[in-house]
Amino acid sequence: MAIETTTSHIKVEPVVNGGVEVKDEITKAKDSVTTIFKVAQAYLIANPGAYN
């Protein structure tokens, strides 16, 4: 068993010179969620009875 995909919805605002600015908070939040899913996946693989 493996978590194959996750999705996130992030709202960004346009900047004056075009494009968008991605703030460090968004990057940190994405990395944090990825870590949480990897830890949960590792736990469930090691403990298959935990989710039955």
pLDDT of residue 1: 59
Per-10-residue mean pLDDT, the chain, length 52: 74 85 83 90 89 70
- For position 21, what pLDDT does the model report? 80
Question: What's the domain range around 26?
Answer: 19-46
Q: What are the start-end ranges of the H helices in the chain?
A: 24-46
The pLDDT of residue 35:
92
**Is 41 domain-assigned?**
yes
Calculate the CA 1 to chain-centre distance: 19
Res 47: pLDDT: 92
Distance between CA 40 and CA 3 in Å, rounded? 9
The alpha carbon dihedral of 39, 45, 49, 52 has a sign of positive
| pLDDT value, residue 25 | 84
Total domain count, the chain:
1
The confidence score (pLDDT) of residue 9 equals 80
- Flag whether 52 is in a domain: no
Spell 21-50 as b/e; 16+ CB within 10 A means b: eeeeeeeeeeeeeeeeeeeeeeeeeeeeee
pLDDT at 8: 77
